Amino acid sequence: GQQVMQIPQYQHVQEGEDFTTYCNSSTTLSNIQWYKQRPGGHPVFLIQLVKSGEVKKQKRLTFQFGEAKKNSSLHITATQTTDVGTYFCAGTGNQFYFGTGTSLTVIP
C-alpha cells in the first residue's frame, strides 16, 4: 500500500527555536493535508496543499508541497508551548493515508 513517511519521529526544542517536519510519499499525491493532534485529542485539520511547489503560510507555520508532489514540509518559526503535539501529514492518492507523525515537545 501507499507509504507516507515522516521525519523526525520525535523532536524536542527550546521555546523560541524553529521546528521542521518532513513528509515523503512513495507515490505521487493528488494533494497533501496537515493535521495536528494534541495529546489525548483527535487530529485537527491545519491546511491542504494541492499544487506542485505550493507554499502556504499560517502565522508562524509554513507549509510546502514538493515539485514532484511526493514530499512536503511543515516549518514552525519561534515555537511556543502551545505548538506541542503530533503533526501528521496525510497524503491523498487513491486513499487517505496518514504519515508516521512527528511528535513535538517544546521546552519552556
Q: Which residues bind another protein (CB under 8 A)?
A: 1, 30-31, 33, 42-45, 48, 50, 88, 90, 92, 95-101, 103
Instruction: State in angstroms the smallest separation of the CB of 16 from another protein.
Output: 26
Instruction: State in angstroms the smallest separation of the CB of 103 from another protein.
Output: 7
Instruction: State in angstroms the smallest separation of the CB of 13 from another protein.
Output: 18
Whether the CB-CB separation of 73 and 64 falls below 8 Å is answered with yes
Q: Which is nearer to another protein, 2 or 77 (CB)?
A: 2
Instruction: State in angstroms the smallest separation of the CB of 71 from another protein.
Output: 17
